[in-house]
């Protein structure tokens, strides 16, 4: 039974639809417009009588109504790290496209346009596969509420897309300087400088303790990682990803200065990147800064800096690409970022070609100037 009411504060009308013992509040029409008059609300009821009778969750008849529901189901079924990466695909690519699409207008044309848009993006074959897989999963959850049958086979990669095509997101040194200069405090400057300079994984960064800094020998020791990839989602201390990941770094003057300006705990067992207000909690992994907080700061500061946002792991790529393009051999780069030379060669060697222009310039004879001399 659908009834119309007036919201005295907004001076707008809304509908209460009582179905199977549950009240559903409807505040907008299928195009997302508020009901400004009682007549508009009544017309909505007249035009959607069947939906009001059978369809659940019609408080917003748009795909966007189901976003949080879908994410909540994902969070229950995925491990923390997997959820975060899939959530990023949803919130940055899938949801923005379908946000204003009404369920009644969700058809194969919408799917085809989305497929074309993804295929036109300069991203890896594998990432496109992940986007389409996640999109199919999201749309599959909407099937009970969609009036027409969708052909999810339309969400596929173009046959002419090479499988080995890969575009890696990263910051150049100039990009990072812009990003760094827009950070508003030493805490975050120290954090992102560590990520860029050393190519640290996010788990390695969060696991760093005061005892890992040896200011007498100007050294930093990477010996552990923080991991939330367990069923309880509780943060635990683990060994680094590989044997090569255990490494020692020299500290430069910039890092030492930032370390001295932001360190808050004298306790050697304290984690460095923590928001714990009491020293007694400083050695508890649950008090370490969360991955979400780091990602949010990264996103906000990239926007502030007018830069394309990159992932936290892309700072590792940025470090490796910077070293490769500045002439450091694969073994030295691998040792620096804590990986093996074969992996570095596979992912980063192609960026070495970007330095060929510099080599070409070294052979420049300045022929025009020489011709003047010869003439």
* pLDDT one-digit tens code per residue, 259-282: 888 776 567 888 888 875 555 565
| Regions of the chain short of the pLDDT cut 50 | 55, 57-59, 230-232, 370, 374-375
Instruction: Say what the pLDDT of residue 285 is.
Output: 66
115 within 8 A of 151, measured Cβ to Cβ: no
98 within 8 A of 64, measured Cβ to Cβ: yes
Instruction: Say what the pLDDT of residue 375 is.
Output: 46
| pLDDT 10s digits, 37-95 | 999 888 888 877 766 665 454 445 678 878 888 998 888 888 776 787 788 899 989 99
> Angle, nearest 10°, between helix axes 108-119 and 125-142?
160
Q: Is the dihedral of CA 79, 82, 87, 90 positive or negative?
A: negative
Instruction: Say what the pLDDT of residue 366 is.
Output: 55
Domain ranges of the chain: 2-61, 65-154, 173-353
Angle at 318 between CA 221 and CA 330, to 5 degrees: 70
Q: Classify domain 173-353 by CATH number.
A: 1.10.443.10
Helices (H), 168-313: 173-181, 186-198, 202-207, 253-262, 291-304
Helices (H), 145-290: 173-181, 186-198, 202-207, 253-262
Instruction: Say what the pLDDT of residue 182 is.
Output: 95
Instruction: Give this prediction's pTM.
Output: 0.58
220 within 8 A of 259, measured Cβ to Cβ: no
Type and span of the H or E element at 18: strand 12-19
| pLDDT 10s digits, 104-118 | 788 899 999 999 999
């Amino acid at each position: 039974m659908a009834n119309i009411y007036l919201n005295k504060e907004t001076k707008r009308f809304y509908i209460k639809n009582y179905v199977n013992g549950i009240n559903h509040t409807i505040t907008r029409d299928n195009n997302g417009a508020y009901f400004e008059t009682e007549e508009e609300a009544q017309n909505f009821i007249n035009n959607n009588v069947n939906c009001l009778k059978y369809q659940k969750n019609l408080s917003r008849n748009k795909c966007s109504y189901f976003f949080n529901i879908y994410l909540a189901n994902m969070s229950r079924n995925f491990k923390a790290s997997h959820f975060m990466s899939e959530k990023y695909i949803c919130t940055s690519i899938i949801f923005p496209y379908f946000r204003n699409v009404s369920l009644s207008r969700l058809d194969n044309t919408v799917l085809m346009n989305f497929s074309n848009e993804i295929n036109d993006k300069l991203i890896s074959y594998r990432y496109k596969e992940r986007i389409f897989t996640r999109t199919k999963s999201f749309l599959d959850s909407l099937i009970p509420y969609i009036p027409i049958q969708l052909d999810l086979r339309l969400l596929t990669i173009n046959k002419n897309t090479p499988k080995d095509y890969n575009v890696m997101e990263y910051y150049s040194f100039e990009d990072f300087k812009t990003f760094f200069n827009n950070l508003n405090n030493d805490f975050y400057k120290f954090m992102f400088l560590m990520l860029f300079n050393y190519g640290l994984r996010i788990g390695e960064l969060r696991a760093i303790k005061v005892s890992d800094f040896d200011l007498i020998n100007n050294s930093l020791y990477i010996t552990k990682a923080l991991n939330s990839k367990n069923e309880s989602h509780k943060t635990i201390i683990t060994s680094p990803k590989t044997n090569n990941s255990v490494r020692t770094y020299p500290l430069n003057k910039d890092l030492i200065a930032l370390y001295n300006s932001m360190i808050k705990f004298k306790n050697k067992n304290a984690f460095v990147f923590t928001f714990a207000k009491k020293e007694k909690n400083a050695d508890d992994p649950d008090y370490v800064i969360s991955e979400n907080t780091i990602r949010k700061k990264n996103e906000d500061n990239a926007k502030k800096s007018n830069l394309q946002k990159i992932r936290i792991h892309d700072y590792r790529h940025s470090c490796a690409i910077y070293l490769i393009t500045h002439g450091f051999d694969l073994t030295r780069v691998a040792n620096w970022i804590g990986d093996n030379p074969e992996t570095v060669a596979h992912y980063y060697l192609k960026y070495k070609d970007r330095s060929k222009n510099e080599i070409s310039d070294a052979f420049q004879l300045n022929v025009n100037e020489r011709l003047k001399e010869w003439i």
